[in-house]
């Protein structure tokens, strides 16, 4: 199974509209997936959720996520996203969650490779990337986003299944 620990936030109209428009006009990957805009802190493989029981022990905190505009990862399955600043507060939180499990993480989520972002579209074919970026760039991305909760997600389930949530105070 694949689990993720993610930072969530209240609905942001512009982001939701971009995800919906890309889904309708370009690639419906997120339709019926249970996806909600978030910043993934860690993603790992495990046989069961017991590997992160300590998830609930991390105390509520305040954090501001700073955005840097629209960007993307290109490859076999390209992604378009809102780039997030990798500042010391976000890295400190990322590292706290890395320490709650001894499971080997994907290289993408190790501190030196970690690239925080808010996915708007994924699994894009090369010919879909430009249209998805065009739609994404038409939104007014908030410069700062206040996370409201951290959730533990079963990312293997479709739709995604939220296993637990800690509210940020």
Spans in the chain with pLDDT lower than 70:
102, 104, 169
- From 69, 85, 74, 77, select the one nearest 138 (Cα to Cα): 69
What pLDDT is recorded for position 169? Answer: 65
pTM above 0.75, yes or no: yes
- From 34, 37, 42, select the one nearest 11 (Cα to Cα): 37
Pairing label, strands 78-84, 117-124 = antiparallel
Q: How far apart are CA 166 and CA 89, in angstroms?
A: 18
Cβ-based neighbours of 78, under 8 Å, separated by 6 or more = 72, 122, 123, 124, 125, 126, 128, 129
């Amino acid at each position: 199974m694949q689990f993720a620990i993610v930072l969530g936030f209240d609905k942001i109209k512009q982001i939701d509209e971009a995800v919906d428009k890309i889904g309708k006009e370009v690639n419906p990957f997120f339709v019926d997936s249970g996806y909600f805009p978030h910043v993934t802190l860690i993603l790992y493989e495990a046989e069961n959720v017991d590997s992160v029981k300590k998830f609930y022990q991390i105390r509520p905190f305040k954090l501001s996520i700073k955005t840097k505009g629209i960007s993307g990862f290109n490859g076999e399955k390209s992604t378009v996203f809102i780039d997030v600043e990798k500042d010391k507060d976000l890295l400190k939180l990322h590292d706290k969650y890395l320490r709650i499990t001894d499971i080997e993480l994907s290289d993408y989520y190790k501190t030196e490779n970690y690239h925080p972002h808010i996915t708007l579209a994924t699994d894009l074919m090369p010919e879909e990337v430009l249209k998805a970026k065009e739609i994404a760039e038409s939104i007014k991305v908030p410069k700062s986003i206040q996370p409201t909760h951290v959730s533990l997600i079963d990312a293997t389930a479709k739709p995604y299944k939220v296993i637990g949530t800690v509210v940020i105070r």
